[in-house]
Chain A
């Protein structure tokens, strides 16, 4: 009992009033153990941030009690705040203050004794690798450096409990790995307790314990291995036979009633069955004979998917599409040559070149600030290039007529929907803006409602939809005019893993129909869905090729079978050595 850093009992919290109220947390009871790292895992909208703020006493619960380090958080918030360290989303740094000034401010606010500052500053700056940058304005640091400075500010007084809200989102894998090292060092050296929220499921395995949050409810709280233990014997690797389309095979597996999840991982499929449903070689139709299933150790994500899905659920409905061109045509539809973009004296994109073929899913992979979105906007003609050349479907979109733009669809970051319009009205607006009228417009809206399973929500306001449904609506809106080329900017950011799988199933179907797709993402494992990709960092392309080719670059005796994240880290480190 005495070893609990945090106790939540029957905690509920709503926002808004009356019918518009949303329940962010719904009767959560949770104990966080001292001296451990606990991961608070769930998609956007699960209630992670609300829970974090309750623990930092920034919010009061509607019902229930919150006890932090044995103190009633409602009765004595200042006592709680004197003993915790809290790092909010976006790190809470003053961007117009230098690294040192930020440290001084938080040291003053947290009451760190002046005598202890010199050693503690030095210790933290060395640990975070920020020692050479203490005089630099925080706003001029890279995303990874900001994250580490935010962490250093939260750690100044060696808090007994450290709360990190989405500390790793959008940050490059190298910085993420370093953050974990720092956190564990604090736990070891000071016996610190840590509660860390994240939307990355792969980070669950780095935690001592995991609390799984979904739609304001606690789905489970245990050691990560305990979540995946029941799946022992239900996870398999399936090598894709030569000449078989990985996407079609994945689709067939997903449709099968004994399969809970099927995921493309490079040249193999990862298959998770429902409990006790061993796959047999004749699992699928005769066209896929002699499939060899190799047992795999289960992962946390497998467990999460099986927790969220029901066996009787229908697989994602795929959009019915006209075939545009033949996938085998292989003509180049997008070409970027020595593309460069400056903002003042800052070089956001540094002379990059690549080519995309028809019907390809082409990925731009990188952390926030790597230059992905800037590249994207230049390709779409939304941002002028500083130098270099872009052609999309044979046009430079900066100068092309509206008819050329008519051939592409664009789905912006954060989806840019009209929140106070209904689903139906949003679709009508976007189709009208692409010049669709009358019967044709009605037909396309009907197609969108049907194929994206939005019909039950046609009368709902877009703002009231869950993030996954907003994503669907934005996706449908970008397809209203049947574009040949589709630009998707961070389409899966913050969306839950089920919605992400649905999204990729639809994207695959589009590619099969001959539509060319450009997509940006900061989820490393999503690279596996791409036919080709480039890895970007600091405005440069570090590597280009198929997922297999890129992973090949990171293969070493220590890493015989590297993941995309391993490959990324190897590439970044190689880049830094070169620079």
Chain B
């Protein structure tokens, strides 16, 4: 009995050592684990930003008096706006058409009279909707400035602000609403998907292509040993990639990590296993690198990118697509990551997501156990 165990341990050790040597000697594995995170971090940390800053705003003030001047100047005090004054709305609209402006705030000549009166509104806003995201943000910011100024004005004049609904808005967890702070944690899920699914499935496909898998399958190796022999090294590589990304995220972009490191490690390990299970499943179907790469990109990488809530908000997707996102493991991990980094160990959020990942892992492992066998066709 102990001899059988010793043999099994030796086979597994041989497999793991071989895999390490190959990872070490193959620059592409190292590149995916350590160079790619750097590239992605720079891209998403510096290149992609979902924040609007330095919005070029046209201010059309038809009648300059103390109220209109006071309101117009409040835009100049904001970090987000670069205001330019126009005296005529047509001139400003021309500038908007030619994309010299991102938005216009129009203060009509009766601005002061209309203030504090129930509708119609005293200001009109035009934004360039070509970039829908930026337009929404711009409109929101303008609204924020408007309500802020209006509130202050009402208080100074000792009057109740007479708007139908009073909005009191405060952003929690990411109070400055810096998009980098929720993009960068999401990247961890992308990088782990690449290592666990893409790299792993392609490495196994390469073994089929080169005929080494056939030679290995003809030895007394057991299926669980084959699986573990692939899982262990790439698990370690994936976790190393994750830690590396976390260090870079904190060091380079000052992304806060408000949750505990233990919770991050636990959920990361679980997600890594799910990603590896997907990689193993793909390699059962695909026995050449090209097909394995294609499948991995389409069923693991792209969904992790698009449908996980990493960039695009799941809540604003059409209902059928929202349903589909439940099949994307990265969705649960991205939710956990964003919570851990920005809010903290909020277990009521983390636990259901961990549960969903554990369920997926279980299902994948059952399929693998049933489908994986030592016959080659």
Contact = CB atoms under 8 A, between A and B. Distances in A.
Given A108-B13, A109-B14, A95 B219 contact: no
Nearest to B207: A94
A578 B222 CA distance: 49
A89 B210 CA distance: 10
B84 to A, nearest CB: 60
B220 A110 contact: yes
* Residue from A84, A89, A105, A106 with most neighbouring chain B CB atoms (10 Å): A105
Interface string B25-41: 11000000000000000
Interface of B: 7, 10-11, 13-15, 17-18, 21-22, 25-26, 210-212, 214-222, 374-377
Contacts of A59: 375-377
Query: Secondary structure at chain B's binding surface: helix, strand, loop or mixed?
Result: helix
Interface stretch (A96-104, A233-241, A311-319, A325-333): A96-104
A357 to B, nearest CB: 42
Given A60-B375, A81-B218, A95 B210 contact: yes
A53 B13 contact: no
Contacts of A27: none
A111 B10 contact: yes
A109 B375 contact: no
B215 A57 contact: no
Given A90-B211, A105-B15, 13 more contacts: A59-B375, A81-B220, A86-B215, A88-B214, A91-B211, A93-B215, A94-B18, A97-B18, A104-B17, A105-B18, A106-B219, A150-B215, A153-B215
A58 B218 contact: yes
B219 A81 contact: yes
A60 B217 CA distance: 14
A90 B21 CA distance: 21
Contacts of B212: 92-94
Contacts of A163: 218
Nearest to B23: A96
Interface of A: 15, 53, 56-60, 77-78, 81-82, 84, 86-97, 101, 104-111, 150, 153, 163
B376 A97 contact: no
Nearest to B214: A88
B287 to A, nearest CB: 13
* 7 pairs of A and B residues whose beta carbons are closest in the complex: A92-B215, A108-B14, A86-B218, A109-B219, A82-B220, A56-B218, A90-B211
A94 B377 contact: no
A215 to B, nearest CB: 20
A163 B219 CA distance: 12
Contacts of A15: 377
A107 B26 CA distance: 23
A472 B222 CA distance: 45
Given A58-B375, A88-B211, A110 B25 contact: no
B25 A96 contact: yes
B11 A89 contact: no
Contacts of B218: 56-58, 81, 84, 86, 88, 163
Given A92-B212, A93-B212, A111 B7 contact: yes
Contacts of B374: 57-58, 77
A94 B219 CA distance: 15
A153 B25 CA distance: 21
Contacts of B220: 78, 81-82, 109-111
Contacts of A89: 211
A28 B17 CA distance: 41
A88 B215 contact: yes
9 contacts: A58-B214, A77-B374, A91-B211, A101-B18, A108-B10, A109-B15, A109-B220, A111-B220, A163-B218
A542 to B, nearest CB: 30
A93 B22 CA distance: 13
Contacts of B221: 81, 109
Contact of A101 (B11, B13, B21, B215): B21
B210 to A, nearest CB: 7
Nearest to B22: A96
B230 to A, nearest CB: 14
A111 B4 CA distance: 10
Nearest to A92: B215
A53 B376 contact: yes
Contact of A58 (B14, B26, B376): B376
Contacts of A150: 215
Nearest to B376: A58
A87 B14 contact: no
A45 to B, nearest CB: 16
Contacts of A56: 218
B11 A111 contact: yes
Contacts of B21: 96-97, 101
Contacts of B211: 88-92
A107 B17 CA distance: 13
A91 B212 CA distance: 8
Nearest to B215: A92
A90 B214 CA distance: 10
Contacts of A110: 219-220
B215 A78 contact: no
